[in-house]
Chains A and B, each alone.
Chain A
Amino acid sequence: MADPNPARTFNDPEDPIIAATVPDHYSPLLDVDPPAGENSRRPLKGFLVILSGLLLVGLLMALIGKSGPSVSQKTDLTLNAPAESTNISAQFLEPVSRGPSAGVSEKSFRLHSGVRAPFPWSNTMLSWQRTGYHFQPEKNWMNDPNGPMFYGGWYHFFYQYNPDAAVWGNIVWGHAVSKDLIEWLHLPLAMVADHWYDTNGVWTGSATLLSDGQVIMLYTGATNESVQVQNLAYPADLSDPLLVDWVKYPGNPVLVPPPGIDDRDFRDPTTAWYGPDGKWRIAIGSKVNKTGISLVYDTEDFKKYELIEGVLHAVPGTGMWECVDLFPVSLKEDNGLDTSFNGPGVKHVLKASLDDDKNDYYAIGTYSLESGNWTPDNPNLDVGIGLRYDYGKFYASKTFYDQNKQRRILWGWIGETDGESADIKKGWASVQSIPRTVVFDKKTGTNILQWPVEEIKSLRKSCKKFDKLEVGPGSVVTLELEKATQMDITAEFEIDKEALKRIGESDMEYSCSTSGGSAQRGELGPFGLLLLADEGRCEQTPVYFYVAKGTDGQLKTFFCTDESRSSLANDVDKRIFGSTVPVIKGEKLSMRILVN
């Protein structure tokens, strides 16, 4: 992960990147139980690939190559096959004595329990953490993605930025452009805190592209009295494709908190969508007591607004809704849809970032322009109580419609898991996720599918394939690689069909975060990859599947990442996270990992 020249603005990874054949189906990270009876499984043979990276030394692991014959037949297997009691052949990992990671509060870093010696971070160690291809400014603190859009032949990206320190504060808008969402050119700050209405923070906002070529940017300002207001800005020169300079509307703020809404609960305006009567609509998240809500405003010119009675939607107990996002998805097509699109064959995704637990939640439902409400398909999976975009560190996310390639693209802020003291020593904090395409999952009908944008393949330099590796219970297979710190990995797993038949029921409900991670062996898991493992495997980050059969006789597949031993440092947040993933009949257990 070392970037030898942090001052470079174009990312240029030198390490070889591994790419196997890319499957043409997804393994989404979702938390939905597979519908009963629809989830058949092919018998699967397990194989395991380890990719190791050492801090300072190059990687060198002997390849345990085994070109054994294909073990299993591919026949369909129903869920009701009786379990038998012979050996399971798809297990993984020696048992380790480390206990499960304590349930770390998702809300912030724990205080270290007890007093311990400070971890001796060296500059070499810290510089190794700099990523090779994730979006990040050259230094200092970053958080929410802002105003993403495609304009003038360029992808534009703005972000919450502290120009003075590697911690949150003094927030202004950073700006960068790209031709391919992967290689970025950093531009001067787009907006700074230079008016009374944003002097305490130029906070999150979104872009709307009008059909006449205008670009509307709405954003939240924290005023000199710390009231949250919405402001309008637009490019100084629309003929500049890089949109370097921005102008703030002299009549700002265009929106102030309405009656009944607290001054501090009114932020993150969305991209506008075309409403009835030729007016535009935007949504702004808020809360009333503990109920998270989204307000909707009508506007014709983005300068004067009318609050629409009622709310777009509300969910009790979810707390403040930050970074609300509402967008259509096609039920039939694979392309994305413009934010204003509506009609038959379309559903709307409503998403909120919950301030209370620092996670992004979404729900699929129907948006009616007439009533102005959005209703979830399944109230049990409503916003904030159902599915998340991502079960790791991923917050304040925002989508935009990429009219260049007709895609809906999702950006998300990754706040990293090291402590602020390390951030201060590093001189920077946070990265953005690799942008992801978002489509409706036609197979489940209840989820969206995300995938890294295809442009990331342009970074691939070399390819290494490992085929038909067999892994027995409690074992580890190592692979020889040149370097293993920047990789694009695809791996497919098959569980031995006999093992699948014999799996017994468990009365314990498995969950990634409360489990013992990769150290907790079950009948059919964990199996997966050990990433960033050092020679003695004192540090390793397993990414794995875990298959269990519940008391209802249904197989459930979990996809987890175990950070409990990811670092010897004691000031790093080390969680085990993940969720269930639906496994569709006829599909394999496959994973895609970007290591950086």
Chain B
Amino acid sequence: MRSSVFLLCVMGISLTQIEFPTSDLVKQTCKRTPNYDLCVKTLLSDPRSSHADVAGLAMVMVDTIKAKTIATLHRISELLGTTRDPKTKAALRGCVELYDNAVLKADLPSAMEALKTGVPKFAEQGTNDAANEADSCERAFSGVSPITSFNRNVSDLCRVASAIIRLLL
């Protein structure tokens, strides 16, 4: 009886030890990005992060940016239906171009392919540019931007992604 209890305890301890290194990598990686909290929160909410290497974490980030980009485009589309102000409408349309043509169709696929095939320098260009596009969109509104939180979110995520990719270089 005694020996089997002992065995159980040992196994229990070993299992928890297996999990430590993985979230350690997330923490270590995120420490080297400009937004630790956002980084950790984003990565830990994706199951792939628990067994990913740094390149894998970067890919999780890029996928998150893609999702946020699509969400932003949906929001813009909603606003285009309801907004009356012509200046705001023009800025929104400009943002569609930035997010759709540049970020979604060019920057993110390029970054993802580069990460998958092991040439991270091309990935960094993609996420850097996506951040710039999000910032450009925000600036396009002369008054108050109706999508500030979306733009900021994408921009912040891109900067985190770029920092993670930098670790691969």
Residues on A close to B: CB < 8 A?
107-112, 115-118, 165-170, 200-201, 222, 226, 228, 263-265, 355-356, 358, 419-421, 424, 571
A109 and B118 form a contact (CB under 8 A)? no
- Given known contacts A109-B128, A115-B135, A169-B113, is B121 in contact with A420 (CB within 8 Å)? no
Interface residues of B in 100-128 (CB under 8 A from A): 101-102, 105-107, 109-110, 113-114, 116-118, 121-122, 124-126, 128
Taken together as a complex, chains A and B put the C-alpha atoms of A234 and B136 apart, in Å, by 47
Contacts of B169 in A (CB 8 A): 107, 355-356
Contacts of B132 in A (CB 8 A): 111-112, 419-421, 571
B102 and A421 form a contact (CB under 8 A)? yes
B118 and A226 form a contact (CB under 8 A)? yes
- Closest A residue, CB atoms, query B116: A226
Taken together as a complex, chains A and B put the C-alpha atoms of A372 and B114 apart, in Å, by 34
Taken together as a complex, chains A and B put the C-alpha atoms of A228 and B117 apart, in Å, by 8
A420 and B114 form a contact (CB under 8 A)? no
B121 and A355 form a contact (CB under 8 A)? yes
CB distance from A228 to the nearest CB of B (A): 7
- Given known contacts A116-B139, A118-B136, A424-B102, is B121 in contact with A358 (CB within 8 Å)? yes
Q: Interface size (B, Cβ < 8 Å)?
A: 32
Selected from B110, B113, B135, the residue in CB contact (under 8 A) with A112 is: B135
Contacts of B118 in A (CB 8 A): 222, 226, 228, 263-265
- Closest A residue, CB atoms, query B151: A115
Residues on B close to A: CB < 8 A?
98, 101-102, 105-107, 109-110, 113-114, 116-118, 121-122, 124-126, 128-129, 131-133, 135-136, 138-140, 159, 162, 166, 169
- Closest A residue, CB atoms, query B165: A108
CB distance from B127 to the nearest CB of A (A): 9
Contacts of A424 in B (CB 8 A): 101-102, 106
Closest 5 CB pairs of A and B: A264-B118, A420-B129, A118-B136, A168-B122, A167-B110
A108 and B107 form a contact (CB under 8 A)? no
Contacts of A228 in B (CB 8 A): 118
State the main secondary structure of chain A at its contact with B.
loop
Contacts of B101 in A (CB 8 A): 424
Contacts of A170 in B (CB 8 A): 113
- Given known contacts A165-B106, A356-B169, A424-B102, is B159 in contact with A111 (CB within 8 Å)? yes
- Given known contacts A167-B125, A420-B107, A424-B106, is B135 in contact with A201 (CB within 8 Å)? no
Selected from B98, B124, B129, B140, the residue in CB contact (under 8 A) with A419 is: B129
A108 and B124 form a contact (CB under 8 A)? yes
Contacts of B126 in A (CB 8 A): 167-168, 420
CB distance from A525 to the nearest CB of B (A): 34
Taken together as a complex, chains A and B put the C-alpha atoms of A415 and B29 apart, in Å, by 30
Contacts of B117 in A (CB 8 A): 200-201, 222, 226, 264
Taken together as a complex, chains A and B put the C-alpha atoms of A201 and B109 apart, in Å, by 14
Taken together as a complex, chains A and B put the C-alpha atoms of A115 and B141 apart, in Å, by 12
Taken together as a complex, chains A and B put the C-alpha atoms of A487 and B121 apart, in Å, by 33
- Closest B residue, CB atoms, query A200: B117
Contacts of B110 in A (CB 8 A): 165, 167-169
Contacts of B105 in A (CB 8 A): 165
Contacts of A168 in B (CB 8 A): 110, 113-114, 122, 125-126
Contacts of A356 in B (CB 8 A): 169
- Given known contacts A355-B169, A424-B106, is B139 in contact with A109 (CB within 8 Å)? no
A200 and B121 form a contact (CB under 8 A)? no
CB distance from A223 to the nearest CB of B (A): 9
Contacts of A169 in B (CB 8 A): 109-110, 113-114, 122
CB distance from A224 to the nearest CB of B (A): 11
Taken together as a complex, chains A and B put the C-alpha atoms of A222 and B121 apart, in Å, by 16
B121 and A107 form a contact (CB under 8 A)? yes
B106 and A108 form a contact (CB under 8 A)? no
Selected from A107, A165, A571, the residue in CB contact (under 8 A) with B124 is: A107
Contacts of B124 in A (CB 8 A): 107-108
Other A-B pairs, 12, CB within 8 Å; known A167-B106, A355-B169? A110-B128, A111-B128, A115-B138, A117-B139, A165-B106, A168-B125, A169-B110, A169-B122, A226-B116, A264-B118, A419-B132, A420-B125
Contacts of A165 in B (CB 8 A): 105-106, 109-110
CB distance from B102 to the nearest CB of A (A): 5
A108 and B125 form a contact (CB under 8 A)? yes
Taken together as a complex, chains A and B put the C-alpha atoms of A110 and B132 apart, in Å, by 10
Taken together as a complex, chains A and B put the C-alpha atoms of A112 and B135 apart, in Å, by 9
Residue with the highest number of chain A CB atoms closer than 10 Å, among B106, B126, B133: B106
- Closest B residue, CB atoms, query A119: B136
Contacts of B125 in A (CB 8 A): 108-109, 167-168, 420
B113 and A200 form a contact (CB under 8 A)? yes
Contacts of B102 in A (CB 8 A): 420-421, 424
- Closest B residue, CB atoms, query A166: B106
